Amino acid sequence: MSMWLFITSLVITAFICNSPAYAYDNNPLQDICVAVNDSQASVFVNGKICKDPKLATPNDFFASGLNVRGNVAPGFGFYAKFVDVNNMPGLNTLGISIGRLDLEPLRFIPFHTHPRAAELITILEGTVLAGFLVPDPANFYRSRLFSKTLNPGDVFVFPQGLIHFQYNVGLKKAIFLATFNSQNPGIFMITSPNIASDLPILNDILAKGFQLNKTQIALLGKKFF
């Protein structure tokens, strides 16, 4: 009986330790770890160096500016501003960050993913159609769409790494906050990095991947270069 309990405990422990729910930023091993840029250092915590705690200040844990819109994304009609470990160093090892998105009427934040975080959005103004895609295990070439039309006060979550989008379906500007369970969630736009990568991908490969011909790929590429 004791052996059975040991095996059961071992299986449960292995499941918990390997569960996707724990596959986010590492838990901190200290109270604070204010990030500091130091190219001479060789020890990193979540990609950043820890400042000596005695040198930390309240400003390390402070940021402002989410009351105004951020930088425009050319050609897409939305503005983005983020507070992450890169501009609030006190977030280092805490596993959280936040952003503000302003979306013009009938404009679209294209399909993208955040490789290191789930995203939770809270609508402040306007009406936003939000959705994400989940792969269909029964058919490799299909996905299941989860989408919802959101109004002020509504909250919607995108699971980590899944393709998602936001579309302003109203006639007024939409504003929402995006919170992430990572200090540096990252972003990967589905179309533009494939078309406009640093090392150009052969048009033959792009044409086959997007089910288009080379002329169409050339026209599509002009939108991203």
Q: Which run of H or E residues covers position 206?
A: helix 203-210
Interatomic CA distance for residues 148 and 18, integer angstroms: 31
The answer to whether 164 is a known ligand-binding residue is: yes
Span 29-75, pLDDT tens digits:
566 777 777 656 555 555 678 888 899 999 999 999 999 999 998 87
Judge whether 161 is annotated as a binding position: no
Question: DSSP assignment of 110-122, as one string?
Answer: EEEE-TT--EEEE
Overall average pLDDT of the 184-197 stretch: 74
Residues in a beta bridge with 180: 97, 119
pLDDT exceeds 60 at position 165? yes
Domain 60-186 top-level CATH class: mainly beta
| Residue 54 DSSP symbol | G
Condensed to tens digits (0 to 9), the pLDDT of residues 100-126 reads: 999 999 999 989 999 889 999 999 999
- Is 33 known to sit in a ligand binding site? no
Residue 15 is predicted with a pLDDT of 40
Say if residue 104 carries a ligand binding annotation.
no
- Band of the pLDDT at 225, cuts 50, 70, 90? low
Q: What is the pLDDT of residue 56?
A: 93
Q: How many Cα atoms occupy the beta-carbon half-sphere of 58 within 13 Å? A: 0
Q: How far apart are CA 75 and CA 189, in angstroms?
A: 14
Distance CA 148, CA 183 (A): 27
Query: How do residues 207-224 score in pLDDT, each as one tens digit?
Result: 777 777 878 777 776 666
Cite the residue boundaries of each domain of the chain with CATH code 2.60.120.10.
Answer: 60-186
Global confidence as pTM:
0.75
Count CB neighbours of 167 within 10 A.
19
